[in-house]
Structure 1
Amino acid sequence: MTTTDLAGTLDGDGHRLDVRVYFEDTDFSGVVYHARYLHFLERGRSDFLRLKGIGHRELMDGAFGAPMAFAVRRMEIDYLRPARIDDILTVITRTRQLGGARVLLDQTIRRGDDILIEANVKIAVISLDGKPMRMPKKVLEVLAPGLGVG
Protein backbone atom coordinates (compact mmCIF):
# COMPACT_ATOMS: atom_id res chain seq x y z
CA MET A 1 0.00 0.00 0.00
CA THR A 2 1.26 3.49 -0.85
CA THR A 3 0.33 6.77 0.79
CA THR A 4 -1.73 7.68 -2.27
CA ASP A 5 -3.84 4.56 -1.69
CA LEU A 6 -4.96 6.23 1.54
CA ALA A 7 -5.69 9.57 -0.15
CA GLY A 8 -8.82 8.72 -2.14
CA THR A 9 -9.11 9.26 -5.89
CA LEU A 10 -9.31 12.10 -8.37
CA ASP A 11 -12.38 11.82 -10.57
CA GLY A 12 -12.58 14.19 -13.52
CA ASP A 13 -13.00 17.57 -11.87
CA GLY A 14 -12.80 16.63 -8.20
CA HIS A 15 -11.81 14.20 -5.50
CA ARG A 16 -13.46 11.36 -3.56
CA LEU A 17 -12.34 10.07 -0.17
CA ASP A 18 -14.01 7.23 1.72
CA VAL A 19 -13.97 7.43 5.52
CA ARG A 20 -15.39 5.11 8.17
CA VAL A 21 -17.26 6.47 11.18
CA TYR A 22 -15.63 5.24 14.39
CA PHE A 23 -16.91 5.31 17.96
CA GLU A 24 -14.71 8.37 18.64
CA ASP A 25 -16.66 10.30 15.97
CA THR A 26 -20.02 9.82 17.66
CA ASP A 27 -21.98 11.11 20.60
CA PHE A 28 -23.59 8.90 23.25
CA SER A 29 -26.32 7.79 20.81
CA GLY A 30 -23.99 6.58 18.04
CA VAL A 31 -24.71 9.60 15.79
CA VAL A 32 -21.74 11.54 14.40
CA TYR A 33 -21.08 14.63 16.51
CA HIS A 34 -21.53 17.75 14.35
CA ALA A 35 -17.96 19.02 14.75
CA ARG A 36 -16.46 15.73 13.54
CA TYR A 37 -17.72 16.46 10.03
CA LEU A 38 -15.12 19.27 9.95
CA HIS A 39 -12.42 16.61 10.34
CA PHE A 40 -13.82 14.59 7.45
CA LEU A 41 -14.03 17.70 5.25
CA GLU A 42 -10.45 18.70 6.13
CA ARG A 43 -9.17 15.24 5.19
CA GLY A 44 -10.97 15.53 1.87
CA ARG A 45 -9.38 18.92 1.13
CA SER A 46 -5.90 17.80 2.21
CA ASP A 47 -5.97 14.62 0.14
CA PHE A 48 -7.45 16.48 -2.86
CA LEU A 49 -4.40 18.79 -2.78
CA ARG A 50 -2.00 15.89 -2.15
CA LEU A 51 -3.21 13.95 -5.20
CA LYS A 52 -3.05 17.12 -7.31
CA GLY A 53 0.65 17.36 -6.36
CA ILE A 54 0.23 20.21 -3.89
CA GLY A 55 1.20 18.81 -0.50
CA HIS A 56 1.05 21.04 2.56
CA ARG A 57 4.71 20.36 3.31
CA GLU A 58 5.76 21.45 -0.21
CA LEU A 59 3.65 24.61 0.09
CA MET A 60 5.32 25.52 3.38
CA ASP A 61 8.79 24.69 1.99
CA GLY A 62 8.27 27.08 -0.95
CA ALA A 63 8.22 24.45 -3.70
CA PHE A 64 5.77 26.62 -5.70
CA GLY A 65 7.50 29.96 -5.09
CA ALA A 66 7.31 31.75 -1.77
CA PRO A 67 6.46 29.60 1.27
CA MET A 68 2.69 29.62 1.75
CA ALA A 69 -0.28 27.86 3.29
CA PHE A 70 -4.02 27.57 2.82
CA ALA A 71 -6.32 28.64 5.66
CA VAL A 72 -10.08 28.25 5.92
CA ARG A 73 -11.54 31.76 5.96
CA ARG A 74 -15.23 30.90 5.81
CA MET A 75 -17.37 27.78 5.77
CA GLU A 76 -21.10 27.29 5.32
CA ILE A 77 -22.44 23.85 6.24
CA ASP A 78 -25.87 22.33 5.80
CA TYR A 79 -26.41 19.27 7.99
CA LEU A 80 -29.05 17.34 6.05
CA ARG A 81 -28.98 13.81 7.53
CA PRO A 82 -27.05 12.13 10.34
CA ALA A 83 -24.28 9.60 9.93
CA ARG A 84 -23.93 6.79 12.42
CA ILE A 85 -21.23 4.57 13.85
CA ASP A 86 -19.69 2.16 11.29
CA ASP A 87 -21.11 4.05 8.28
CA ILE A 88 -18.82 4.39 5.27
CA LEU A 89 -18.97 7.97 4.05
CA THR A 90 -17.63 9.55 0.88
CA VAL A 91 -16.23 13.07 1.04
CA ILE A 92 -16.41 14.77 -2.35
CA THR A 93 -14.37 17.93 -3.00
CA ARG A 94 -14.61 20.14 -6.10
CA THR A 95 -13.07 23.48 -6.98
CA ARG A 96 -15.85 25.98 -7.67
CA GLN A 97 -13.86 29.18 -8.22
CA LEU A 98 -10.31 30.50 -8.02
CA GLY A 99 -9.14 34.03 -7.33
CA GLY A 100 -5.77 35.64 -6.92
CA ALA A 101 -5.63 34.89 -3.21
CA ARG A 102 -8.54 32.51 -2.61
CA VAL A 103 -10.05 29.18 -3.53
CA LEU A 104 -13.77 28.37 -3.28
CA LEU A 105 -14.56 24.69 -2.84
CA ASP A 106 -17.80 22.73 -2.78
CA GLN A 107 -17.77 19.69 -0.54
CA THR A 108 -20.36 17.04 0.15
CA ILE A 109 -20.42 14.05 2.43
CA ARG A 110 -22.51 11.14 1.18
CA ARG A 111 -23.54 7.76 2.49
CA GLY A 112 -24.25 5.84 -0.69
CA ASP A 113 -26.70 7.95 -2.69
CA ASP A 114 -27.78 10.03 0.34
CA ILE A 115 -26.26 13.49 0.77
CA LEU A 116 -25.61 14.07 4.48
CA ILE A 117 -23.60 17.30 4.43
CA GLU A 118 -23.15 20.14 1.94
CA ALA A 119 -20.39 22.65 2.58
CA ASN A 120 -19.10 25.72 0.77
CA VAL A 121 -15.55 26.55 1.80
CA LYS A 122 -13.57 29.74 1.19
CA ILE A 123 -9.82 29.17 1.48
CA ALA A 124 -7.36 32.05 1.82
CA VAL A 125 -3.81 31.87 0.50
CA ILE A 126 -1.45 33.17 3.17
CA SER A 127 2.27 33.57 3.76
CA LEU A 128 3.73 31.72 6.72
CA ASP A 129 3.44 34.89 8.81
CA GLY A 130 -0.32 34.89 8.19
CA LYS A 131 -0.56 37.68 5.62
CA PRO A 132 -2.66 37.29 2.44
CA MET A 133 -0.69 36.58 -0.71
CA ARG A 134 -1.35 35.83 -4.36
CA MET A 135 -1.52 32.21 -5.39
CA PRO A 136 1.42 31.04 -7.51
CA LYS A 137 0.51 30.46 -11.17
CA LYS A 138 1.44 26.77 -11.00
CA VAL A 139 -0.99 26.20 -8.12
CA LEU A 140 -3.74 28.09 -9.96
CA GLU A 141 -3.28 25.91 -13.04
CA VAL A 142 -3.44 22.68 -11.05
CA LEU A 143 -6.57 23.68 -9.12
CA ALA A 144 -8.49 25.18 -12.06
CA PRO A 145 -11.84 23.45 -12.55
CA GLY A 146 -12.32 21.40 -15.68
CA LEU A 147 -8.66 20.39 -16.07
CA GLY A 148 -9.49 16.77 -15.42
CA VAL A 149 -7.32 14.27 -13.63
CA GLY A 150 -4.07 14.91 -15.48
Structure 2
Amino acid sequence: MTADLAGRLVGNGHRLDVRVYFEDTDFSGVVYHARYLHFLERGRSDMLRLKGIGHRELMSGEFGAPMAFAVRRMELDFLRPARIDEILTVTTGIGRLGGARILLDQKIWRGEDLLIEANVTVAVISPEGKLLRMPPRVLEVLAPATTPEAPAR
Protein backbone atom coordinates (compact mmCIF):
# COMPACT_ATOMS: atom_id res chain seq x y z
CA MET A 1 0.00 0.00 0.00
CA THR A 2 2.85 2.44 0.77
CA ALA A 3 4.23 2.09 -2.76
CA ASP A 4 0.83 3.15 -4.13
CA LEU A 5 0.86 6.25 -1.93
CA ALA A 6 4.35 7.15 -3.18
CA GLY A 7 3.50 6.75 -6.86
CA ARG A 8 5.61 4.48 -9.02
CA LEU A 9 9.01 4.39 -10.60
CA VAL A 10 8.91 3.99 -14.34
CA GLY A 11 11.85 3.06 -16.53
CA ASN A 12 12.59 6.69 -17.17
CA GLY A 13 11.46 8.52 -14.01
CA HIS A 14 8.60 8.68 -11.54
CA ARG A 15 4.84 9.23 -11.68
CA LEU A 16 2.56 10.28 -8.86
CA ASP A 17 -1.21 10.66 -9.06
CA VAL A 18 -2.75 13.33 -6.82
CA ARG A 19 -6.35 14.40 -6.30
CA VAL A 20 -7.24 18.08 -6.09
CA TYR A 21 -9.02 18.75 -2.79
CA PHE A 22 -10.99 21.77 -1.63
CA GLU A 23 -7.97 22.95 0.38
CA ASP A 24 -5.95 23.18 -2.87
CA THR A 25 -8.33 25.62 -4.53
CA ASP A 26 -9.41 29.23 -4.37
CA PHE A 27 -13.02 30.33 -3.97
CA SER A 28 -13.80 29.42 -7.60
CA GLY A 29 -12.61 25.81 -7.37
CA VAL A 30 -9.42 26.44 -9.39
CA VAL A 31 -6.10 25.25 -7.92
CA TYR A 32 -4.27 28.11 -6.21
CA HIS A 33 -0.90 28.62 -7.93
CA ALA A 34 1.23 27.92 -4.83
CA ARG A 35 -0.41 24.51 -4.31
CA TYR A 36 1.31 23.21 -7.45
CA LEU A 37 4.58 23.55 -5.50
CA HIS A 38 3.22 21.03 -2.98
CA PHE A 39 2.36 18.55 -5.74
CA LEU A 40 5.84 18.96 -7.27
CA GLU A 41 7.53 18.48 -3.87
CA ARG A 42 5.62 15.26 -3.31
CA GLY A 43 6.75 14.00 -6.71
CA ARG A 44 10.42 14.75 -5.95
CA SER A 45 10.30 13.32 -2.43
CA ASP A 46 8.45 10.16 -3.43
CA MET A 47 10.80 9.50 -6.35
CA LEU A 48 13.80 9.70 -4.02
CA ARG A 49 12.05 7.61 -1.36
CA LEU A 50 11.24 4.84 -3.83
CA LYS A 51 14.86 4.87 -4.99
CA GLY A 52 15.99 4.35 -1.37
CA ILE A 53 17.13 7.93 -0.77
CA GLY A 54 14.62 9.13 1.81
CA HIS A 55 15.01 12.35 3.77
CA ARG A 56 15.56 10.41 7.02
CA GLU A 57 18.34 8.32 5.49
CA LEU A 58 20.05 11.46 4.17
CA MET A 59 19.86 13.28 7.51
CA SER A 60 21.00 10.20 9.47
CA GLY A 61 24.29 10.13 7.56
CA GLU A 62 23.55 6.80 5.86
CA PHE A 63 25.14 8.13 2.66
CA GLY A 64 28.15 9.70 4.42
CA ALA A 65 27.80 12.96 6.34
CA PRO A 66 24.27 14.10 7.33
CA MET A 67 22.75 16.02 4.44
CA ALA A 68 19.54 17.15 2.79
CA PHE A 69 18.29 18.25 -0.62
CA ALA A 70 17.18 21.88 -0.84
CA VAL A 71 15.52 23.61 -3.77
CA ARG A 72 17.96 26.19 -5.10
CA ARG A 73 16.06 27.37 -8.16
CA MET A 74 12.68 26.74 -9.75
CA GLU A 75 11.26 27.86 -13.08
CA LEU A 76 7.55 27.27 -13.67
CA ASP A 77 5.26 27.62 -16.66
CA PHE A 78 1.56 27.63 -15.76
CA LEU A 79 -0.13 26.44 -18.95
CA ARG A 80 -3.65 25.41 -17.88
CA PRO A 81 -5.60 25.41 -14.60
CA ALA A 82 -6.62 22.36 -12.60
CA ARG A 83 -9.91 22.22 -10.71
CA ILE A 84 -11.36 20.63 -7.61
CA ASP A 85 -11.77 16.81 -7.66
CA GLU A 86 -9.54 16.29 -10.71
CA ILE A 87 -6.85 13.62 -10.70
CA LEU A 88 -3.47 14.97 -11.76
CA THR A 89 -0.26 13.12 -12.59
CA VAL A 90 3.08 14.56 -11.50
CA THR A 91 6.01 13.28 -13.55
CA THR A 92 9.58 13.72 -12.37
CA GLY A 93 12.77 13.00 -14.26
CA ILE A 94 16.42 13.76 -13.74
CA GLY A 95 17.65 16.17 -16.36
CA ARG A 96 21.27 16.37 -15.18
CA LEU A 97 23.39 15.32 -12.23
CA GLY A 98 26.21 17.56 -11.05
CA GLY A 99 28.79 17.51 -8.29
CA ALA A 100 26.46 19.12 -5.77
CA ARG A 101 23.25 19.67 -7.75
CA ILE A 102 20.48 17.81 -9.52
CA LEU A 103 18.42 19.38 -12.30
CA LEU A 104 14.92 17.91 -12.38
CA ASP A 105 12.31 18.08 -15.09
CA GLN A 106 8.81 17.97 -13.64
CA LYS A 107 5.41 18.20 -15.25
CA ILE A 108 1.82 18.09 -14.02
CA TRP A 109 -0.74 16.51 -16.31
CA ARG A 110 -4.52 16.12 -16.35
CA GLY A 111 -4.93 13.14 -18.63
CA GLU A 112 -3.26 14.18 -21.89
CA ASP A 113 -3.33 17.90 -21.04
CA LEU A 114 -0.05 19.40 -19.82
CA LEU A 115 -0.83 21.90 -17.05
CA ILE A 116 2.53 22.80 -15.51
CA GLU A 117 6.16 22.55 -16.63
CA ALA A 118 8.87 22.98 -13.99
CA ASN A 119 12.65 22.98 -14.09
CA VAL A 120 13.99 22.52 -10.57
CA THR A 121 17.58 22.76 -9.34
CA VAL A 122 18.16 20.93 -6.07
CA ALA A 123 21.39 21.30 -4.07
CA VAL A 124 22.92 18.94 -1.51
CA ILE A 125 23.47 20.77 1.78
CA SER A 126 24.67 20.03 5.30
CA PRO A 127 22.30 20.51 8.28
CA GLU A 128 23.96 23.93 8.66
CA GLY A 129 23.12 24.86 5.08
CA LYS A 130 26.62 24.44 3.61
CA LEU A 131 26.86 23.12 0.04
CA LEU A 132 28.14 19.51 -0.14
CA ARG A 133 29.31 17.22 -2.93
CA MET A 134 26.89 14.53 -4.03
CA PRO A 135 27.81 11.20 -2.39
CA PRO A 136 28.87 8.53 -4.93
CA ARG A 137 26.09 6.17 -3.76
CA VAL A 138 23.46 8.83 -4.44
CA LEU A 139 24.91 9.54 -7.90
CA GLU A 140 24.89 5.82 -8.62
CA VAL A 141 21.24 5.41 -7.61
CA LEU A 142 20.07 8.43 -9.61
CA ALA A 143 21.95 7.66 -12.85
CA PRO A 144 21.26 7.32 -15.73
CA ALA A 145 19.63 10.72 -16.11
CA THR A 146 16.37 10.53 -18.07
CA THR A 147 13.07 12.36 -18.23
CA PRO A 148 9.65 10.66 -17.98
CA GLU A 149 7.23 10.78 -20.87
CA ALA A 150 3.64 11.95 -20.76
CA PRO A 151 1.22 9.70 -18.84
CA ALA A 152 0.10 6.60 -20.70
CA ARG A 153 -2.89 7.35 -22.89
TM-score by length of 2: 0.93
Aligned residues: CA RMSD: 1.0
* Counterpart in the other structure of 2:149: none
* CA drift at 1:146: 4.9
After TM superposition, the structure 1 = structure 2 runs for residues 138-149 of structure 1, keeping only pairs within 5 Å, are 138-146=137-145
2:53 corresponds in structure 1 to: 54
Q: Which moved more, 1:102-111 or 1:4-13?
A: 4-13
Deviations 1:96-130 (A, max 9, x none): 00000000000000000000000000001001110
In 2, the alpha carbon distance for the partners of 1:114 and 1:141 equals 33
Secondary structure of 2:140's partner?
Answer: helix
Query: Secondary structure of 1:50's match?
Result: helix
Cα distance in 1, alignment partners of residues 99 and 11 from structure 2: 23
Structure 2 unaligned regions, length at least 5: 147-153
Cα drift, residue 13 of structure 1? 1.6
Deviation string, structure 1 residues 37-82 (Cα, Å, up to 9, x no partner): 0000000000000001100000000011111000000000000000
Partner residue in 1 for 2:116: 117
Tell me how many residue pairs correspond in the alignment: 146
Partner of 1:35: 34
Find the aligned partners of 1:80 and 1:95 in 2 and give their Cα distance: 21
In structure 2, how many angstroms separate the alpha carbons of the residues matched to 1:4 and 1:57? 17
Query: Equivalent residues in 2 for 1:42-81 (5 A)?
Result: 42-81=41-80
Runs of 4+ aligned structure 1 residues displaced above 6 Å come to: none
Q: Distance in 1 between matches of 2:43 and 2:83?
A: 19
Using the aligned pairs only, state the percent identity. 79
**Cα distance in 2 for residues equivalent to 1:146 and 1:109:** 19
CA contact (8 A) 2:93 2:145 kept: no
Amino acid at match of 2:116: I
TM-score, normalising length: structure 1: 0.95
Partner in structure 1 of residue 94 of structure 2: 95
1:137 aligns to what? 136
Superposition deviation, residue 144 in structure 1: 1.4
